[in-house]
Amino acid sequence: MSDRPNPLRELVSARFKEYIREPEALFWSFGFPILLAIGLGIAFRSKPADAVHVAIVSGTAPTEPLATYLRRDSALTVETMSADSANAALRTGRVALVVTQLPTGGLRYDFDDTRPDSRTARLLVNDAAQRGAGRSDPLASTNRIVREPGSRYIDFVVPGLLGMTIMGGGIWGLGFSIVDQRRRNLLKRLVATPMSRGQYLASYLLSRLVLLAIEGGVLLAFATLAFGVPMRASAFTVVTVVVVGALAFAGLGLLIASRSRTIEGVSGLMNLTMLPMWVFSGVFFSSENFPRVIQPVIKALPLTAVNDALRASMLRGIELPGLWPQLAVMIAWMVICFAVALRIFRWR
Amino acid sequence: MTTSTPALLVEDLRKHYGDVKAVDGLDLSVAAGECFGLLGPNGAGKTTTIEICEGLLAPDSGRVELLGMQWKTDEHALRERLGIQLQETQLADKLTVEETVRLFRSFYEKGRSVDEAIGLVQLDEKRRARVGKLSGGQKQRLALACAIVGDPELIFLDEPTTGLDPQSRRQLWDLIEEFKSLGRTIILTTHYMDEAEILCDRVAVVDHGHVIALGTPQTLIGSLGAEHVIQFAVETPATPIDVGELRAIEGVRAARDLAGGFELQVSTLHRTVPALLALVARHGGELAQLTTHSASLEDVFVSLTGRQLRDE
């Protein structure tokens, strides 16, 4: 006879070891969100506003003094080229606007009005040319530049990435692992012992929360330190949102895994579940872009609720009482998924 | 529990899958301390029977009692006292031997220490090895360690040596012999005759979901009334050999036509073989093949069903 190890601790530690001994899984949970944040951070980093490239067609008239007027505006980069080269540069997007001096002394602008930078160039060039030619502005104006953390793309996307990590962890972490154990007959073997089924499921939830604390912590620490992404609500609020969201997705993962016997079967179900949320739930762009009629459906998706709650708390400093609609959606998913999953779960 | 309570009692057990009668009116009684074998070809219903006994499958009808208890009322108490090895369980590859055994140990109130269980199955040298790196025989011994770590009174082993090389099989047999000597009840299924003959105190031969013969291996083999089996084939006989002629030879208890030859069950090998050679010579044929072996459970199965237990 010997002392009995604590079964819940053994189950959680087995979960944990199985997980950290899988290098690919480690990359997908830790490396991937960080690489994505780095990539997006570089692409959308805060930098001096890009100068807009414009072309002046040479040959129709002397390019001076027009070129000098335009060069006074630091937001413009001016090149002179032949009409053919200028048109080619415009078509390929190398310049945003082509300026042609007409024999009458006026100017003609060639540009694509669906390109925002072309429209900007049109306004800047016209302004600079008119002022250079002697226009005086009736209203005096000055500029004050405001570049505030919280309104940049990186600020928008980090809560989305965190939401995606929570979803992926819950659905993959439970779905894949449970079905793998069922496929290997290991679930049946465990059920053939006096193991408590409640502790078995609890071990998944606990190990998920521990891993999520690490994954989410790494992502948030990186986003805060490297990009200055703000954290305006209390840590308690953000952690509560993360934990409730994680439990909702754990329920969804359990439901997905409750019947499947094959990895192929469960992979299909997982993708079927996650794909709509990747698209509609506002990970990389705002879900407000979708038509108003489907907004109620989008708002009812668990990832939308998690992402909205994370953005509201991190970026706008809204605390728990203001997040009840999102938390209600998450809790509803959690309760319904767990109830159905436990009813139909195939233990053998 | 009195000694008269059987470790396992099965009465009129039935389990049908659609038209397939996997278990069809099966009765068993296994005494405490016995090593009992369920013997039969693949698909005979052995695994279905044993999984019903293990409480992993519900029967359509029939009674199952283990250690005087029933699954419906005493599931948790039974789980504490049973040790189970399933056919084809793949334990977690990423855990080590020691971690796996400790995990299983944690499920039982009482039991052996992890060291003891690992020692019993002789995996001490592999205790820090990952399960995924073990050989087939080592994995099977680990499965055995998980089955006995709760120090069970009743051990179920489903095809414990299937797919193993001869050396690993023999090693596993030694381990099972050791558990027998500890006085535990063992119930195992197998389709290997030699395994059942060596390990089991009693065997039940199962075919088409019910028991067709029951007894000690010695009794069952003795029931053939023949100690030896001769198989032979004849090339180019001038006149065909008739099974009736073979039955008439002295010492032949049974004769049958096999594909490409004949099989005789024989009580007196030294008298029968010369007479057989004379008969073949009379027919102007030549022996293409002649083998003899001592009668085994395999022959019992063939004589009961007219089929080989497995195709080799």
Q: Where are the domains of chain B?
A: 8-216, 225-294
Q: Is the pLDDT of residue B196 over 70?
A: yes
> pLDDT grade, residue B311 (50/70/90)?
very low
**Model pLDDT for residues B128-148, shown as the tens digit of each residue:** 999 999 998 999 999 999 999
pLDDT of residue B194: 85
Are B55 and B130 within 8 A, CB to CB? no
Per-residue model confidence as pLDDT tens digits over A123-151: 998 988 888 888 888 888 888 776 666 77
Is B109 within 8 Å of chain A by CB?
Answer: yes
The pLDDT value recorded for residue A117 is 85
A220's tokens: 């948030």
Percent of chain B clearing pLDDT 70 (strictly above): 97
Q: Where are the beta strands (DSSP E) in B75-175?
A: 82-85, 154-158
B230 touches chain A (CB under 8 A): no
Cα–Cα dist B88/B85, whole Å: 9
What is the nearest CA distance from A24 to chain B, expressed in angstroms?
13
> Is the confidence at residue B113, as pLDDT, over 90?
yes
Question: What's the rounded Cα separation, in Å, for the pair A345 and B297?
Answer: 43
Band of the pLDDT at B2, cuts 50, 70, 90?
Answer: very low
Average per-residue pLDDT in chain B? Answer: 89
Q: Which residues of A touch B150 (CB under 8 A)?
A: 193-194
What pLDDT, in 10s, does the model give residues B8-28? Answer: 999 999 999 988 899 999 999
Please indicate whether, in this complex, the C-beta atoms of A193 and B108 are within 8 angstroms of each other: yes
Pair type for strands B202-207 and B210-215: antiparallel
Domain boundary assignment for chain A:
7-44+150-344, 52-132
Q: Does A346 touch chain B (CB under 8 A)?
A: no
pLDDT of residue B106: 96
**How far is A246 from A211, CA to CA, in rounded Å?**
11
| Tally of CA atoms within 13 A in the half-sphere of B64 that contains its CB | 24
Q: Is B116 within 8 Å of A2 when comparing Cβ atoms?
A: yes
What pLDDT does residue A34 have? 77
Quote the pLDDT of residue B312. 39
B8-216 CATH fold = Rossmann fold (3.40.50)
Q: For chain A (length 348 residues), average pLDDT per consecutive 10? A: 84 90 80 78 65 84 80 84 89 89 86 88 89 84 74 86 91 90 93 93 91 87 86 93 95 94 92 93 89 94 96 93 96 95 90
Q: Give yes or no for residue B124 having a pLDDT over 80.
A: yes
Q: Are strands A97-101 and B61-66 parallel, antiparallel or unpaired?
A: unpaired
**Per-residue pLDDT tens over the stretch B235-274:** 878 888 888 888 888 888 888 887 778 888 888 888 899 9
Instruction: Give how far the C-alpha of residue A175 lies from the chain's centroid of Cα atoms, to the nearest Å.
Output: 23
Classify domain B225-294 by CATH number.
3.30.70.100
In this prediction, residue A149 carries a pLDDT of: 67
In the CATH scheme, what architecture does the domain A52-132 have? Answer: 3-Layer(aba) Sandwich (3.40)
Nearest CA in chain A to B82: A193
Q: What is the dihedral of CA B89, B93, B95, B96, to 10 degrees?
A: 90
Please report which helix (H) or strand (E) contains residue A52, including its range. strand A52-57
CA distance A201 to chain B (A): 14
Arithmetic mean of pLDDT, B59-64: 94
Compute φ and ψ for B190, nearest 5 degrees: -160, 155
- Is this model's pTM higher than 0.80 or not? no
Compute CA A343 distance to the chain's CA centroid, rounded to the nearest angstrom: 35
Q: In what order do the strands lie in the sheet with B202-207?
A: B82-85, B154-158, B185-190, B35-39, B202-207, B210-215
B310 pLDDT band, cuts 50/70/90, is low
pLDDT in tens, B37-57: 999 888 888 999 999 999 999
With an 8 Å Cβ cutoff, is A6 touching chain B? yes
Of the residues B57, B89, B109, the best mutation for testing chain A's interface (the one with the most A CB atoms within 10 Å of its CB) is B89
User: Cβ of B94 and A188 within 8 Å?
Assistant: no
Q: Indicate whether B163 pLDDT > 90.
A: no
d(CA B209, nearest CA chain A) in Å: 22
Question: How much is the pLDDT for B305?
Answer: 79
How high is the pLDDT of residue B1?
A: 45
The shortest CB-CB distance from B95 to any of A17, A181, A348 is to A17
- Residue owning tokens 């005096």: A140
- pLDDT beyond 80 at B221: yes
Nearest-CA distance A34 → chain B (Å): 26
Contacts of A32 (CB under 8 A, 6+ apart): none
Q: How many CA atoms lie within 13 A of B143 on its CB side?
A: 27
Q: E-assigned strands of chain B?
A: 8-17, 20-30, 35-39, 61-66, 82-85, 154-158, 185-190, 202-207, 210-215, 228-235, 252-258, 261-266, 286-294
The backbone torsions φ and ψ at residue A53, rounded to the nearest 5 degrees and listed phi first, read -85, 130
Shortest CB distance from B76 goes to which of A1, A6, A194?
A: A194
